[in-house]
Structure 1
Amino acid sequence: MSNARFSIIPGWVVADRRLKGRDLQVLCVLGQHTNRKHGWCRRSQVKMAAEMGCARSTVQASLDRLVKIGAVERREVVSDSGRDSAHWYRVIYDRVTPEEAFREWDRDDELTDEELGADVLEDDSDTPADQPAPPAGISAPPAGPESAPPAGPGSAPINDSSLTPPAERTERGRGRDDGESDDPTKFAKRVKALELGTANNPWPGAIASSTAWALLQFEKLTPEERRLAEERRDSYLAECKAQKVKPVALGVYLRDKKFLDVSPLAAKAQVASAKIPVAPFGPVWAGMRALALLDGPEAVDVPLDVRDRARQMFEALRRSSEARALAYLQGKGIELGADGGLIFPNDFDQAEFRRRVCESGYPRANALHLQAKDRERGVAEARFGALVELCEPVPVGSALFEQWREHHEEAGWPFVPDPGSMPVVYFPRGGPEGLHDFEMAARAALRQERSDDHAA
């Protein structure tokens, strides 16, 4: 295992949505083993898999993906016996390497013969890292017809020192495997959220400080410490403001665990009073709207003489415009008889009831609709931020968008207002069929937040 204390990778790749699973971890392992002199590393996939505690096939898939998106360059190596050997990898910056350099590096490289021989000869099963290599003749999958393009200008700085002792790396490794609730692939997003904050409350000085270093400090924390760091972020900044002291940099806040100095009661009070913006047609707006509809309609008053009222409205419109009067009847499904009387459909009373329920039975949803029509941002309690991950963007006019429209009509719900030029509108994930799962997850998340607040 490398004794490097940190790993340098391209900043742009951290938020690249094409990354999956262990991709970022594989990239960091390559950076950890990169040779400080020439910027390349020669590393066995089996050895990498052993370090990460996963299957070799997982490492191979991540490397293929990293090569494809232009984050890594790979040079395949075949041994004298014809078998695939450990390959050369480079985290891409901008340097083109001459052919003869690889031959020189092969002589100088510090890898053992065992590491050079034990590479991608296994199948795609979870093969133990110390299992002997299969017979020769099984080649590694192709890396692609051409080298990946540079990720950006500037030469790659190469690490040769180290921030984390082996014991702490082992502890951090255990923390990474504790489930999706602490998924390491989302750490960069969580640190960025700590920097940006909510409601125009960014971390002071974040724009001039190192996000990569803050991310490293975040990774060192236990899952519970990460949760507390996020939960008490605003409380820490509020206490600093109250005491008229300058907050430390975000990385220092995480490294020194400043969140532990925040009063738990103050943290709970801060969370309970925090607000988040609600953008029209966005994920929080969509989640709140869906929950309002799923709660069912409130009682509405429907007059007993709905047919008489329809007749009165028709006669009033007819006095000013025959065309408008006939259009009114058509919209109600009413026909004009030969004798001038009105012929009502059999389900007219039920249809009128459904119409009134749709128009006025969902006041919370209609308030969100009015906000969207006026293109005004609203605010909501911070706990509703849990709805963001439970909603997805749906392209306007797409098949899924029309499925949502049909579901609203069948359920008697008011549909979303005209989105205008907006390309997408958010709805609960999974389409109408996923509403039950959405409701269970959303109510569980919101109930948990409320119980935590009350417990304080």
Structure 2
Amino acid sequence: MSGPRFSIIPAWIITDGRLKGSDLRVLCLLGTYTNKEGWCRRSQVKMADQLGCGRSTVQDSLKRLADIGVVEKQEVASADGRDSAHWYRVVLDRVVESNAFAAWDDEDEKEFGPIDGIEKGTPPAGIPAPPAGPRPAPPAGSGPAPINDSNLTPPEERREREREREDEGEENPKGIERRFRAWFAKMPGYLDDSEPNARREWNALTPAQRTECEQMTPIWLEERKKLGRTKPVAASTYLSERRWERLPDQVKTAHEKAKAQEERVTVAPYGHIWSAMRMMALLKGPKPVELPDDLLPLTARTFEIHRRISESKGLAFLAERGIVIDGKDLVFPDDFREQEYRRRIQLEGYPEVNRLNKMATERTRDQVDKRFAALASLCEFVPLGSPTFERWRDYHEQMHWPPVPEPDPKHLAGVWFPKGGPEGLGEFELAARAALGMERGDDAE
């Protein structure tokens, strides 16, 4: 396994109602890199790239986490004034000595320090590294060597490891035998059949052939029954001749379509799964959006194009962006670039959210993997106009998220949202990732 296996954070923060948006994700990311004293040195740009969000999102979360008191920051200033990664501490009630940062900086300077190899005379590529120093390796510890005894592993954990090996495609003899017995017991006439002969042929199959045999044997038996054939076929003969491969292609295709349909669930707009999927896409953060350098001249030209089509359309274009006309000139707001960035983030940064919103406005449905059905229990019904609904509306505006399209009250009296309101989003994300079997860095699609 590559990379950290655990993230160390204090347990009390998980249910803290002050967490917003991606705060818990940022905290968990810091927790994966902390040293034994609870500190790590991370670049905000790298963190944003890992989390798939903007740097401003990471900055906002770090500020909020510091205000809550769960993260402490130690700024690092480079000698030439360029940006440098800072130290962050996930507060774990540990005291750090005053000289600790100097020692840690020596270890981390290569990764996070300013790039100035040319100025310091870094040797060009191709020159071999100097030989190792003459110092002997440190002696082994005085304690006893660890005991590698499989009997110390609990039975359930051993079984779980066996299942993991099977999932990874390893040839586990116990697993092969277990699967054989389950398959053999489903064959007609197995009570009078030769189990040793069948086992020999089963073991002679490749892993892929055994898997295909398990999947297609029920279909083969069903088709055989339709043809009125009742005489049992010896299991060893069935396996050695690979009878399941004789099934017509149209039968296999029909089976695959039926199986795929069984593994899908329907998503209705404003419902449990729709709301949970939408919130997971929002918590993932926006995709990067870039503004052109000539934003103001480009906006002015776009306005002229709209105005040639229709004067009202051109004026609506300006009103949407807060631009006013002063004689023949366009007057842009002082924060126009920032406003335009937020507007484009809503339009382009959340494609999955906008797809789900379009489903709601067009009143269409979708089919998704059935694993998303596990998210239904994480949401609650919120009536239109209720205080909780208004909190959700305000929170979307605060986070600059695409707003929730409100349903027609004649058809729907409310919308489903994650339980606990915006204050419960941290707990919702943890529960949703656990329900979907997602690990750190995974994203729901």
Into which bin does the TM-score normalised by the smaller protein fall? 0.3 to 0.5
TM-score w.r.t. the length of structure 2 is 0.39
- Between the two structures, name the one with larger relative contact order (CA 8 Å, sep ≥ 6): 2
